[in-house]
Structure 1
Amino acid sequence: MSVKDRFPVAGLTEHPVRGAAIIARSVQVSKALNKRFIWNLRGICEWVTVEVYTHCVMTEVQTQPDEAVIRAWEDAELSDLHENEQKSVKVRAMFNAIARSYDLNNRVHSMWRDEAWRKHAVKRAGVNAGDRVLDVACGTGDLTQAFAKRSRAREVIGVDFTEGMLEIAGHKKDRLHRELGNRLSYEQGDAMGLRFDDQSFDVVSIAFGIRNVQEPSKAIGEFYRVLKPGGRLVILEFDQPSNPLVRWFNGVYCGTIMPRTATWIARDTSGAYKYLPRSVTSFMTRSEMMDAMGDAGRKGITSTRKFEMSVHVLSERLFEALVEGNRSLARSIVNEQLNEGVSPELMLTDLFWPTYEMIDKLHREDQISSLAYNLSTRLFRVLVDQTSRALIAGSNAEPVGRNVFACCGTCEGSELGAQMAVDLLEAAGFGVRFAGGGVPMDEVRQTVQESSPDVLLMFCSNPADLPDIRETIDALHEIGACPNTQIVVGGGVFNRAEGLAEEIGADLWASHPLELVDAMIDDADIRATPEQRTVGRTRKTPISKAA
């Protein structure tokens, strides 16, 4: 079972033009099938483009036939609706017809999840203070307002070609605080022919609208055109569940139940709620969307760029192979990328580490069985060993002159995370001794006293291992052993409890292996202050709440 079968995911693809950076992520939108399983009826695909810089010819908004003579969507038209020559006119008439009940239907039929999806899109867009944001196909302005409310954007402009939707958006704007309203504006326009200058926006977004555009590739070309170098394109769109059971239930709900109840709420005669579910099932897949983005302007992608662009897909494939214990498939995924020239370091940091964190999280939340967890972590160790050999063999880093003694908690997840961290440290030029898990802490303390390493690295994913780490740090500080040894901690338990690493007296910590390597190089002199340490005072354990 793939990740997408367990819960809807927003696949984040950052798409380059002219050597732009690309990253891909998979992020959870809602929980796995449970008492609130209806939330899983729909998945979202979110494509985000970073560092885009291209020039496209600006298209004119075509003159459309009189909407009054356009008939509602007929059943016969729904079999090939995206090729309908009058699609844009019908879509505009349709949204004008349902504008006043649009927000209510969205809330009711998404179980109020649509607001959370938009908030997530704003977060992923990474809006900086002073940015200009363009929200295309803004509808009634939900995402446009979310950008104004939840970011420090200097200006947020919503564009839509439907007068009725813009009228509702304007009424909602009038109810906002003056400061927000001053940063927010709406205007009528077509996604395929934006009026704005080249390279004039830091963020361009379109939520649940790209499938309603007559020519999506033309619209994407316009998005690229108006984005500044380094700009972000956020496309939020529905996707089909791949799990057969969830897909069947989704089909019943979206194909039968929702059209009837939504049509009743809207008193609609335009066929909007026949069109909308069909427009999802017949629209592009994520990979087809990436191809469309490429056709709109992406050229000259390197093997590394291709890897980063599709890493969310690779992560799903790898996850499925791992939890099933499919060793040949897992090896072939890794070998395929290494043979195409993807660096071992990138494999560890951008594919292995996020997949490892996903497996660890699902196991903590009882969304995968102990069997699946053991199969995945043990097979993962084999893949990490394979990739790390290539990493270290190909490393030409100069020695940094610092020796690390590393140990970790007893669980398999801690060992796996620690191994990735120490392999990256070794490739970066550190001298590393890795004791693994299960070593009594009194032996760790004795080794540190005798060998005086530059760094003591302790890695922990399981809260149950935390007391031993805390006791070791306290003991070393209390007896004044190895005052020059920097104590560094890492692992998921510290990521989930803010301030925990500082509280237990660690000198340094990082949430990601690459950050750990950089911090240990750049911050070699940092030491914890006496006020941070738990020696001689009552110890708090915030882990139970944070984990």
Structure 2
Amino acid sequence: MVKEETLARYLEALLQGDRGTCRSVIEETMQRGVPANSIYLHLIWPVMAEIERLSRTDRITSVQEHMATRINRTIVDQLQNKLPRRPAKHKKAAICCSREELQELGAQMIADLFESDGWQVRFLGGGLSNDDIFGYINEYAPDVLLVYGTSPKQAPEVRRLIDRIRSVNAWPEMRIIVSGGLFNRAEGLWEEIGADGFAATAAEVLQVAADEQPAPAADRRTVNRRKRRQQAAAQEEMVLTE
């Protein structure tokens, strides 16, 4: 495991834009015998989540957030080839971000971890329209589609993508998993928009993906369905109290 003082030292160096110290922290951690996948899960991911929180609450500047993200991305790129490689699972995963998502690093790390676990992976990143993603799913036919998002304003777009996939029903066995701060902060949102699963951390992603049972269609909920239920319940209560 990664020590608390290591996390604190790495976070401080990131916020100062100190690339050399960041590299030193990673190298020292690996020299202590911590494997690359543990560095992903227990150092870079939690620090990345903390930077997102500090940025969202205006505790750090935009410059600090940008510097930290770029240093993290460089280090992840360097660590990717050091991840363990498990035998091929003969399963495919497509990983994308919502169209306006600026924080692609979490999704990139998830793609790396899927690949390390033996999956065939395609990382689409952000900036693509739902039409682009939908078209690629039709071509690639993944077993899992993972959508990553951090900002609340992205929820409607993610929901529209999922609703479109469900309405076509061309890939009934494909599981849709969501991850990222957007879904961490809004409890139950992943169910409301119709996803099959939710991973709060990178460590949970492969566990959720390993559950091969898609959620029954009747159990999938959208925001509109919940609103209709709430409205119906309110109307019923009014009738009972009259």
Q: Smaller-chain TM-score range?
A: 0.7 to 0.9
> Which structure is larger by alpha-carbon Rg, 1 or 2?
1
- Match of 2:124, SS state, is strand
Question: Are the equivalent residues in 1 in contact too, given 2:196–2:220 (CA < 8 A)?
Answer: no
Q: Tell me the TM-score normalized by structure 1.
A: 0.40
Runs (4+) off by over 2 Å: 409-413, 526-540
- Match of 2:33, SS state, is coil
Q: In structure 2, do the counterparts of structure 1 residues 330 and 355 end up closer, same or farther at CA, with 3 Å as the change threshold?
A: same
Question: Are the equivalent residues in 1 in contact too, given 2:76–2:109 (CA < 8 A)?
Answer: yes
**1:437 aligned residue:** 126
Which of 343, 361, 373 in structure 1 is aligned with 2:65? 373
Q: How does 1:109-124 map to 2 (within 5 A)?
A: none
- CA distance in 2 between counterparts of 1:412 and 1:448 reads 22
- CA distance in 2 between counterparts of 1:448 and 1:539 reads 30
Unaligned runs of 5+ in 2: 229-242
Q: In structure 2, do the counterparts of structure 1 residues 324 and 481 end up closer, same or farther at CA, with 3 Å as the change threshold?
A: same
1:346 aligns with 2:12: no
Q: How many Å apart are 1:490 and its aligned residue?
A: 0.7
Q: How many Å apart are 1:389 and its aligned residue?
A: 1.8
- CA distance in 2 between counterparts of 1:520 and 1:463 reads 24
Give CA deviations for 1:185-234 in whole Å, capped at 9, x if unaligned. Answer: xxxxxxxxxxxxxxxxxxxxxxxxxxxxxxxxxxxxxxxxxxxxxxxxxx
Q: How does 1:187-266 map to 2 (within 5 A)?
A: none
Larger proportion of strand: 1
**2:239 aligned residue:** none
Q: How many Å apart are 1:539 and its aligned residue?
A: 6.1
- CA distance in 1 between counterparts of 2:69 and 2:7 reads 15
Moved more, 523-532 or 417-426: 523-532
**1:329 aligned residue:** 21
**1:517 aligned residue:** 206
Question: Are the equivalent residues in 1 in contact too, given 2:183–2:189 (CA < 8 A)?
Answer: yes
Q: How many Å apart are 1:531 and its aligned residue?
A: 4.3
Question: Are the equivalent residues in 1 in contact too, given 2:177–2:195 (CA < 8 A)?
Answer: yes
Corresponding letter in the other structure for 2:82: A
Question: Are the equivalent residues in 1 in contact too, given 2:89–2:118 (CA < 8 A)?
Answer: yes
Question: Are the equivalent residues in 2 in contact too, given 1:474–1:535 (CA < 8 A)?
Answer: no
1:313 aligns with 2:8: no
Q: How many Å apart are 1:354 and its aligned residue?
A: 1.0
- CA distance in 1 between counterparts of 2:77 and 2:125 reads 14
Which of 162, 185, 188 in structure 2 is aligned with 1:473? 162
Q: In structure 2, do the counterparts of structure 1 residues 317 and 355 end up closer, same or farther at CA, with 3 Å as the change threshold?
A: same
Question: Are the equivalent residues in 2 in contact too, given 1:377–1:412 (CA < 8 A)?
Answer: no
Q: In structure 2, do the counterparts of structure 1 residues 487 and 382 end up closer, same or farther at CA, with 3 Å as the change threshold?
A: same
- CA distance in 2 between counterparts of 1:539 and 1:372 reads 40
**2:135 aligned residue:** 446
Q: How many Å apart are 1:474 and its aligned residue?
A: 0.4
Unaligned runs of 5+ in 1: 1-306, 541-547
**1:197 aligned residue:** none
Q: Which has the higher contact order (CA 8 A, sep 6+)?
A: 2
Aligned length: 227
Corresponding letter in the other structure for 2:46: P
Q: Tell me the TM-score normalized by structure 2.
A: 0.88
**1:385 aligned residue:** 77
Larger proportion of helix: 2
- CA distance in 2 between counterparts of 1:434 and 1:539 reads 34
- CA distance in 2 between counterparts of 1:503 and 1:445 reads 20
Identity in percent: 37
Corresponding letter in the other structure for 2:7: S
Q: In structure 2, do the counterparts of structure 1 residues 538 and 503 end up closer, same or farther at CA, with 3 Å as the change threshold?
A: closer
